[in-house]
Amino acid sequence: MFKLFCIASLVPLVVLVGLGSYVLQQDRAVVTEEARQRADEIARDLAERLGREIGRELLIFQIIGTTWAGDRVPLPGRSPVDALVSETYRERLGEWQRRYPELRPQDVFPVGVLLSESGDLHSPKDYPLPPTPAPWLAQLSTEQQLLWLNANQALTGTSDTNAIGSAFQEFLDSDPPSSVRAHAEWMLLSLGLQQQSPSERVSRLIRFASRADADLSEGGLPMPALALARALREAAHLGLSQDLFDAANEYLFTRHPSFLSAQLLTEMERLAESQSSAMQEATKAVRLRWESQERLRALARRIQALLRPTNVVSTNLWFEWSDQHWFAILNPTESHLKTSENGPSGPITNRFTHIRLLPEAVIRRFAQLAVSEAGVKIPPYLGTRLFLEGQEIAGAVTNISANQTVLARSEGQLSQPQVLSIGSSAEGKADSLVEFEPLPSRPRLEIHICLSNPALLYAQARRRTQVFGLLLFAAAAAALLGLAKTFQALIRQQRLNEMKSNFVSSVSHELRAPIASVRLMAEGLESGRVKDDTKRAEYFKFIVQECQRLTSLIENVLDFSRIEQGRKQYDFAPTDIVALVNQTVKVMRTYAEEKQVKLVAGVANFQSSTCGLQLLADARALQQALINLIDNAIKHSPPGSTIGVGLGVIERAEAARRLAASAMHEPRTANHAPRLHLWVEDHGEGIPSHEHERIFERFYRCGSELRRETQGVGIGLSIVKHIIEAHGGRVLVRSAAGEGSRFTIELPLTEECSK
């Protein structure tokens, strides 16, 4: 009847749970589909906005970079216009640094290079590596070659400056080519410098450098660089003047830089050390600009090596340089005819291939700013991955792993349409406006929307599940009130099942290892693979040890079963405790030596017969209790330590005092007869005081199950306690964490043989 009542009470609950589970599954599917639709909308919107916003950031970045590349630090004597330009630049640079605090201008500016129609580097100006002899000697006529030879012989064969000057002047009168003329004029200038003051020398050298343009010396050295180098040496005692600084700065960046430019810059810095702070800052600015242009030249050479173009086409590419990923946006040589809406047309011609060069860190920052300013709201359970031309920009939007579920994908393009005015009227107004695309290569974006936090997505579904569970609980409350006793019985049964499961698992684990070891060694002996007699003896010894270990474990399990069922019986008889202890220590010594622990029995001076006392005990059960204590001590003792086993007798008066002072439960024999103390002491990790009582509970083991390394099933001490209490004694423990443990078996003695 009770079963029918339980079934009748539970059937509605089962039906309700089944229907609720189905509804909740459908609810989860609906939530997933809604997330996919939302992800698809976000992906399309984000791809469109990021393409536009990153394109805008790119153009602003290029403008700031161009300003940085052309900036000159104002020096004393500069015009107010120069100072105004510099102040405007500083405002722009300050705004840029606020937007990009983690980037240094000298690491990313300037951002672009120009290649000519032939594929050569046009801007910044490139220069050849170490010089080659100038080709202009072959351009001289026979007469000019003789005159040139005479002039060089005069230079090396005489110290008469007038004769040398006359020889070079005669060569100049022969109207040689301009490149050769510059070299001859340089020789005359060098001769004339000896009679002039240092300031006049510097001035003449600056004027010569400004006229020499790109002419080369006979050895292939650039003439302006030679003149400026000489001027910097002549200015060693004069300092770096404004004119000399301007001439060197113009040569480095505006005219024709060369492989000597770095040496000129080093000499400028050396001279500026003794100058004003403004001149030192200006020289530092020149150094930064030069290093940035050197970086651009190296990047351009890398791209030229990758493309090898004859006519560069519109493309974008990623490449490695200086342990970084760089992105190149190429706008090729092209000519377009643009037509405005009201009819007029205008040509837009690009004679150069414009290449924008951006490190991955800059593009990542572009995307981060674009997302923050685009206003696209991304739910916290979604993550976004950004790809530019197939290369993922890690951490650009959200930092997620690559193995997360992709809900939606969308593509976009970097684009920033601009408006160009064509023609102008007398009033200064444009005749027409046409649109053009400054990014004709349109770098391709790809957005992946991923499910980064499923738990957060299904949080509402979980809440609905919880609410439904509460409803189920309310519906079941009436039935559960009538089944309270049954519920308690089920809980007790569940606990017993858990204890049984833990016990079976522990015993299975303890049995598996020795059985597997014995089997492997027995198979090795059977197959004849073990040829060495010593090795076979070791195998036999190990098999015996493992069998003894199995026997001990099985005996413990059987005794525990008998104790649980109340069938455990003891055979009390006079027992030679000294012989029992010695025999037990001998049995356990082999196991102790295997664990590198020394087992010592301190019973040599113990003689119970001298005091007329004897022990009535079940020798087999008492030995089992002692083996369990020694086994525990060995398991918990570090290698190299010592375990002591000892015996002692407490007389009647002392036994009465100790029993009166003890806080433990009084054993079944409450008389104050002399008592035997049998103790096992180790130097292991010890037992915390708050666990002294629980260690005698069945299946209880100290510490976390995940961190425990010692073997056992948790019944050894409970068996010890049952055996000793069955003998009318008790088990005492003295231990503390880190101080070792001492377990004492206290048993009553009889006086049957005393007088």
- Most confident range (mean pLDDT) of 10-19, 391-400, 605-614, 622-631 is 622-631
Per residue in 291-334, pLDDT (tens digit) is: 888 898 899 888 888 876 544 455 788 999 988 899 998 877 66
- Is the Cβ–Cβ distance between 415 and 487 less than 8 Å? no
Dump strand ranges (E) for 292-451.
315-321, 324-331, 334-339, 345-350, 353-359, 382-388, 391-392, 406-413, 418-424, 430-436, 444-451
pLDDT of residue 597 exceeding 80: yes
Q: Is 446 helix (H, G, I), strand (E, B) or coil?
A: strand
Q: Which band of pLDDT confidence, cut at 50, 70 and 90, is reported for residue 660?
A: low
- Please say which residue of 263, 278, 303 terminates a domain: 303
| pTM, entire model | 0.54
Would residue 604 count as lying in a domain?
yes
Residue 470 belongs to a domain = no
Question: CA separation (Å) from 275 to 272, 502, 748?
Answer: 5, 86, 104
**499-517 average pLDDT score:** 67
Domain CATH number, residue 631: 3.30.565.10
| In a shared domain, residues 299 and 313 | no
pLDDT tens string 228-254: 898 999 898 888 888 888 888 888 887
Q: What is the DSSP letter of 139?
A: G
Confidence of residue 210 (pLDDT cuts 50, 70, 90): confident
| Least confident segment among 61-75, 192-206, 484-498, 703-717 | 703-717
- pLDDT tier at 705, thresholds 50, 70, 90: very low
For 354-366, the pLDDT digits (tens) are 888 889 988 888 8
Are residue 443 and residue 497 in the same domain, yes or no? no
Per-residue pLDDT tens digits for 539-594: 777 787 778 767 776 776 766 666 666 666 778 888 888 888 888 888 888 778 88
Confidence check: pLDDT of 78 > 60: no
Query: For the stretch 554-592, what's the b/e string if a residue is b when 16 or more beta carbons lie within 10 angstroms of its beta carbon?
Result: eebbebbeebeeeebeeeeeebebbebbeebbeebbebb
Backbone phi, psi, residue 29, to 5°: -65, -40
Residues 100 and 245 grouped into a single domain: no
Q: Lowest-confidence range among 47-51, 80-84, 465-469? A: 80-84
Better-scored residue on pLDDT, 712 or 37: 37
Predicted pLDDT at 566: 66
CA distances, 617 to each of 2, 38, 77, 432, 687 (Å):
50, 80, 115, 119, 29
In-domain check, residue 84:
yes
Is there a domain that residue 598 lies in?
A: yes
Q: Domain check: are 510 and 434 in the same one?
A: no
E strands, 603-667, are: 615-617, 642-650
Q: Examine residue 13 and state whether it is found in any structural domain, yes or no.
A: no
- The pLDDT assigned to 98 comes to 84
Q: What percent of the chain has pLDDT over 70?
A: 73
What pLDDT does residue 499 have? 60
One domain, residues 674 and 599? yes
Q: Containing H/E element for 121?
A: strand 121-123
Q: What pLDDT sits at residue 691?
A: 78
Q: Are 313 and 297 in the same domain?
A: no
- The answer on 368 and 275 residing in a single domain is no
Distance CA 366, CA 66 (A): 18
What pLDDT is stored for residue 126 in this prediction? 83
Amino acid present at 674: P
CA angle 285, 288, 291 (to 5 degrees): 150
Q: Examine the pLDDT at 73 and tell me if it is beyond 50.
A: no
User: Of 508, 526, 543, which closes a domain?
Assistant: 543
Same domain, 208 and 357: no
The predicted model gives 267-274 an average pLDDT of 89
Say whether both 299 and 322 belong to one domain. Answer: no
Least confident residue range of 30-34, 442-446, 492-496: 492-496
pLDDT at 615 over 80: yes
Residue-range definition of the domain harbouring residue 249: 133-140+177-303
Domain boundary, last residue among 288, 303, 318: 303
Average pLDDT over residues 444-461: 86
Q: Report the pLDDT value the prediction gives residue 410, as an integer from 0 to 100.
A: 92
Helices within 158-193 (DSSP H only):
161-173, 178-192
> pLDDT averaged over the chain?
77
Q: How far is CA 341 from CA 336, 346, 415, 431, 484, in A?
A: 16, 12, 21, 11, 86
Q: Is the pLDDT of residue 753 over 60?
A: no
CA distance 724 to 714: 17
In a domain, 402, yes or no: yes
What are the backbone dihedrals phi and psi of residue 660, each rounded to the nearest 5 degrees, phi first? Answer: -70, -35
Does residue 191 form part of some domain?
Answer: yes
d(CA 303, CA 153): 48
User: Which pLDDT belongs to residue 609?
Assistant: 46
- 128, burial (CB in 10 Å: exposed 0-12, middle 13-18, buried 19+): exposed
Q: Is residue 192 located within the same domain as residue 282?
A: yes
On the question of pLDDT at 605 being above 80, the answer is: no
Of 123-127, 437-441, 507-511, 732-736, which gets the smallest average pLDDT? 507-511
Q: Is residue 594 part of a domain?
A: yes
Total structural domains in the chain? Answer: 4
Highest mean pLDDT among 312-316, 396-400, 479-483, 716-720: 716-720
Average pLDDT over residues 23-31: 75
The answer to whether residues 585 and 711 belong to one domain is yes
Span 630-639, average pLDDT = 87
Indicate if 274 and 365 belong to the same structural domain.
Answer: no
- The more confidently predicted of residues 401 and 660 is 401
What tens digit of pLDDT does each residue of 96-149 get?
788 888 888 878 888 888 888 777 888 888 887 777 777 777 778 888 888 888
Does position 24 have pLDDT exceeding 80, yes or no?
Answer: no
pLDDT at position 662 over 60: no
* Long-range CB contacts (within 8 A, 24+) of 542-550: 542/517, 543/518, 545/590, 545/591, 545/594, 546/514, 546/517, 546/518, 547/514, 547/518, 548/587, 548/591, 549/514, 549/591, 550/511, 550/514, 550/515
Gap between the Cα atoms of 694 and 696, Å rounded: 5
